[in-house]
Structure formats: structure tokens, C-alpha cells
Amino acid sequence: MIGKLIIATILTGVISGFFITVYELLITFVTYYIFMGDPFKTIPTLPVWYLYLLPTVAIFIVNYLSSKDANIREYGISEIAESILQNNMIIKFKTLFWKIVASVLSLSSGFMVGTEGPSAGIGAMISYHVHKWFNLPSMLIKMMISVGASSGIAAIFVSPLTGIAFAVEQIAYQFIKQYISYLILASVIAFAISINFLEPIAFKHSIGRSFNNNYIIANLIFIPFITFFIYFYLFFKKRLLHFIDLEIFKNMSRYRNHIFALIGGSTVGTILLLEPHAAFSGKTIVMHLINQETHISIWFILTIITLRIIGTTVSIYANAVGGLFLPLMSIGALIGYAFGELLTIYHFPVEPFYFAAIGASVFMGVIMKLPLTAVVLALETTFDYNVVVATGVSVVLVEYFSNLYFTVKKNYVTKADKVTKNDIAML
């Protein structure tokens, strides 16, 4: 049995690594094709009507595909595992294909969702079929789902430790002692494949293993600063959009998806028109804006933060297929960078890139309730003790402050929550 498990795990890692690599490259190809080149260069030259039509048509196609197969929609990995265990979901290759199509359309047309949700789902689907091929016991389905999810995340982020931490925090608590070795094996193999084709996210300006006590005061000030933006995000998503969904459109529930598809398409079109860098998954923001040597205008950063918060939440309600890990990470990185720029304006000797790394991990960790993944992400993207310590302290305290007025749920983070009228009254 152990020999079977090892072979099944290796096969899951290999297939996931290649599958996720093709998926990421396909997104890039389609994006360049529909925007007729690098979108950040071509968007200013494209007609306004085209910028509105493109995301609107894309999201209508995504909603149509989802109406034909509900499993195409974005689901949390724990939901997939539970559905399979209860025999409520049968993952077919046809579903996998159309899920990739829906995700590529969502991401390439500018919707502010991430690649990690579909990647984890793809890995889970692959591991589900590997489980069937090897005729493994049904009690190991959830473990194999964890293996597939971790390999998918490790491949798309080119980051094995983050993939392992993600899977452990999501669904593998009870399996950690028995099956952690299989998570590690699949994640490392998928990572080894993807790193040959994809570029990892890395904050290049970290200062290494020396601990700088001068940042302690700045870190304490940063906690209420990032908490304010988390409140803004949660207010917009959990209160304003819930109210629109359940109160304004309550008599038009039949057309709910069509209405939000129109809202989503017009919102993304407007964001593309105003500032293309605020659209898409956010990886470009982290990779190019955050790591460049020159300072970025504080007003430019705050504008992108606001647009990305609005765009990300609207994308969820419009049923765009994609995760939240990367979009939230990019928002947090921009918040941290803006904070560092503000301190430098007042002659406080800090490095903005340092807070960008902390903000990226904390914002994602609090919203998705993944504190361990946040700390591992901070470590793996910077290898800087200053960032890791500050992230560990901040993610716990900011989550506490956020829960004082909002209920941050771990499940269903990649899609619009369903609440009742009583829930609205309590908000």
C-alpha cells in the first residue's frame, strides 16, 4: 500500500506540474491575443467600447458554462473533498477542461481573481483520478485531494512550502502526522517542474537574516493601517454587495447572474480604462511594481488599491472563476508599499519593499484565515527574519481586530456568500 501511495503521489506531482504550467502559459497567451499584445501597452490604444465589451462577453460565457456544469464554479478545496466523500460530486475530465476554459477567460479578460483556486482545484481533480486509477481505499480520497491541492499551489506559485502549508491549513489537519510526507513529495515534484517554465514571486529587497530593531515601532503602526483597509474590503464585500444582492435585486433573483455579469463586465472595463495595472490577477503588480528600484507615487498606489478592492469583490459576485490568494496578496503588497512610502515622506528610515512583503502575507492570511500559510509565504518570498516575525505578529493581531466587527469565514472565500435577510439585519 505504501509503495502504491508513493507512486500515486509522484504521478500526481508530475501531472500537476505540467498541467499547471500549461494553464499559466495559456492565460498569458490568451491575454496577449485578445488585447493584441502586452495589455499594459496596448490598452491605451484600444477603443473604449472594446474594453467594456471584452470582459462583459467573457463573464457571460463563464456564467453560461457554469450553468451547464455547476462543478465549473470556483469551490474551496475542503468543499471538493467533502462533496466527493459524500458522493455528491464526480469529477470528470470534461469538467476539468471547461473549468480551465472558464478560468482562462476570467483571468485573461481582466477580472481580478487569482490562479491558485483553479490550480488547487485542478490538482485535486488530477489526484482524484489518480486515486481511481490506482484503486486506492476510499478512506484515502481526502488525503489524495490534499496531495493534489498542495501540488497545484506549489506549481502555480513556484513555491513548495507555501503549497504544503496551504493544503495543511485547508483540509489536512487530521492527516498531518500520517500523510505529510506525501504532501511534501507531490509539492516538491510539481515545483521542480514548474520552476523550469514559470517565474516565482520574490521580494528582492529583503535584508536577510539580520534583525533590525528600528522597524519595531513602524511595524506597530502598520497594524492599524492595514486593519483599516481590511475593514474597507470586508465592508464592501460583506455589507454593500450583500445588500445589493439580497435587497435591491431580491425581486429579480432569476436574473441575478446576468445582472452581476453586467456589473462585473462594466466594472472591469472601467478599471481597464482608468488604470490597467489595477486589473488582472495582480501578479504583475507584485513582480514589476513592487520590486522596481524607483519609488512609486503614493497617490498612484492608493488609486490601484481602491480599484483592486472594488474589482476583486465585484469579480467574485460576477462568478469569475479564480481564487483570491493572489489578488489579496497583491492588494496587501500595495498597502504595505504605500505605508512605507508615507513613512519615508515623514523622514522615517524604512524600506517600502519591506512592508510590501509583510502586507502581502498579512492581507491574504487574515481574509482567507490562513495564518500559517501567511508566515510561510513571507519566509519563502523574502527569506528575511524581519518580515517573518512582523508577519507572524501582525496576522494574529489584525485578524483579532477584524473579527471585532466582521465574521471572517474560512470556507466559501472564493465566491459570494449566501446569507439570509436576518444576516443583512445584523450587518
Structural domain includes residue 205: no
Residues 242 and 102 in one domain: no
Residue bearing cell 520552476: 195
Whether residue 67 is predicted with pLDDT greater than 70 in this model: the reply is yes
Residue range 22-63, pLDDT digits in tens: 999 999 999 999 999 999 899 999 999 999 999 999 999 999
Whether residue 327 is predicted with pLDDT greater than 80 in this model: the reply is yes
Which of 159, 194, 229 lies at the terminal end of a domain, its last residue? 194
Percent of the chain with pLDDT over 70: 80
Whether residue 339 is predicted with pLDDT greater than 90 in this model: the reply is yes
Domain span including residue 347: 213-426
Residue range 241-276, pLDDT digits in tens: 666 666 656 666 677 778 888 888 999 999 999 988
Distance CA(151)–CA(187), nearest Å, equals 4
Nearest to 65 by CA among 261, 270, 271: 261
**Domains in the chain: how many in total?**
2
Residues 232 and 184 in one domain: no
pTM: 0.82
Structural domain includes residue 319: yes
Structural domain includes residue 207: no
CA 167-414-289 angle, to 5 degrees, is: 85
Residues 177 and 48 in one domain: yes
- pLDDT-derived band at 413 (thresholds 50, 70, 90) equals very low
- Pairwise pLDDT comparison (413 vs 156), residue with the higher score: 156
Distance CA(243)–CA(101), nearest Å, equals 31
Which uninterrupted H or E stretch holds 254? Answer: none
Structural domain includes residue 202: no
Residue range 381-400, pLDDT digits in tens: 888 878 888 899 899 999 98
Distance CA(271)–CA(265), nearest Å, equals 10
Residues 331 and 414 in one domain: yes
Mean pLDDT of all residues belonging to the chain: 80
- CATH number, position 392: 1.10.3080.10
